[in-house]
Amino acid sequence: MTDPWAALAEYHRKTANRRILSLFDDKARFADFSAETDGLLLDYSKTNIDRDGLKLLLDLARATGVLARRDRMFQGDAINETEDRAALHTALRSRSDQPVMIEGRDVLPPLRLMRKRMYAFAEDLRSGRLKTAGGGLFRNVVNIGIGGSDLGPRMAVQALAPYHDGPRLHFVANIDGAEISDILKPLDPGQTLIVIASKTFTTVETMTNAGTAIAWLRRAMGEQATRHLAAVSSALDRTAALGIDPAQVFAFEDWVGGRYSLWGPVGLPIVLAIGAKNFDGFLDGAAAMDRHFLTADPERNLPLLLGLTGIWHNNICGFQTRAILPYDQRLARLPAYLQQLEMESNGKCVALDGSPLVRDSAPVVWGEPGTGGQHAFYQLLHQGTRIVPAEFLIAATGHEADLAHHHNLLKANCLAQSEALMRGRDRAAAEAIAAGLGYQGAELSRQAAHRVFPGNRPSLTLAYRQLTPFVLGQIIALYEHRVFVEGAVWGINSFDQWGVELGKKLADEILLMLNRDKIDTNRDSSTLGLLGWLGGKE
């Protein structure tokens, strides 16, 4: 049997110098290299993948057991092998009556009960039935969390701003006192709910910020401050120790990873902002993508195609980074969200069996919204020495009907950038421009060189009708499953994150030195020197 990696490498060797634009001599190119589900369109035609390349990539998916592992994930098998856990974030948004079993127990009924409790709490607060300690309305909510307890809800709340009809949402994550100080300073504690989101209630950043926020509440209202607290946590003993009413505590299971958790109680800030009905729409969009991933033919399966295109660019072409470019200002936090989703999930160097990986895993993910990025880093995308595959996101219509001309300009810029990356500008065209500017001879040649665009730079476009809760659910679930596909191809565990542990341990040790509780003269001279300079004890 032919090694699929070797076959892809040979295919790439033969096609590497081919111009992507030449593939469009085939008039069916767009139709054949795009796929759609429920109004979400993935166009990957502006890549150097043809029918032969797609077949080889699908062969790779079959050889690495991607779809079999997908089925195991949805069935609740413990595919998080290092922690012996399932990865059942899909169950949080399930709209099916089909049981999802873990150790002989259907997990869906308790999940639905928890969601019902969360919805009731959110609607009581939004409607004013749940009063502040002073008998008024909660006008502000501050969510305190970090990582998955912050990035997802923060991104989604911003993305769904047109659907906000609840209290104002604010987010605190960084242990830097500047963030919580700036958030709390303009707020009235008598009108503010603090939501503390930490599964274990031991996360240093979250609990430090929570302590500061609770002290802020208590200075204003004394022991009544506890009425202004809610928690998303499974550590019920710790939430009780802070005096948080059990009716305002929402737990989630250990088979839901933090970066996959915004579909459940971690999504409480989203529900508070947009209400239960719209949150249901958000879940519906994700569930629709789950069904598509499970049932669509591989050749038209969006998560599989997105993942395999990522494998192509990263492992076969050797492109080390990936730019996420939402032409949707409300998706400004999507690149940061995907940084955690992709790099914490797949930033691994060890295979499932404990052996070193023999090829690269996750690329570096970065990006900013358009059109601002065009005036910042697009210079590198177009003329830099490194090729960066770009992933554009664009809606057919915005929510601001009276500003449709803005959205047409936005769409024009998005489509122009993807075309320009592919098409480029050759020497003859650059010389014609330089000549038109009056340059001659050697100076014309020099000026023209600066105006040449290499082109042949790949991009994908994800298009949708409008950024609704349903569509946002689709997009996030699509990227979750893309991470799964890539991790399965590499043979790694996408659901643990041991790489975050060492820094935490060392930070605890260094804190003792900063507080002058312990001196460790055996540390490296850089750490000791910096400690001394920053105020610690050498």
Strand ordering across the sheet containing 364-366: 34-37, 40-43, 459-464, 390-395, 321-327, 364-366
DSSP 8-state symbol, 437: T
* Residues 40 and 302 sit within 8 Å (Cβ to Cβ): yes
Dihedral, 357, 9, 485, 81 alpha carbons, nearest 10: -20
In 339-425, DSSP assigns E strands to 364-366, 390-395
Options 375, 405, 450, 505, the catalytic residue? 375
Tokens of 260: 């996959």
344 an active-site residue? yes
* Residues 473 and 286 sit within 8 Å (Cβ to Cβ): yes
375 an active-site residue? yes
Options 504, 509, 518, 537, the catalytic residue? 504
* Residues 471 and 42 sit within 8 Å (Cβ to Cβ): no
* Residues 239 and 201 sit within 8 Å (Cβ to Cβ): yes
With a CB cutoff of 8 Å and minimum separation 6, the contacts of 491 are: 64, 351, 352, 353, 357
* Contacts made by residues 494-497, CB under 8 angstroms, sequence distance 24+: 494/87, 494/345, 494/346, 495/79, 495/80, 495/83, 495/85, 495/87, 495/257, 495/345, 496/80, 496/82, 496/83, 497/257, 497/344, 497/345
Q: Is 14 exposed, middle or buried (0-12, 13-18, 19+ CB in 10 A)?
A: exposed
Options 205, 253, 344, 480, the catalytic residue? 344
As annotated, the active-site residues are 344, 375, 504
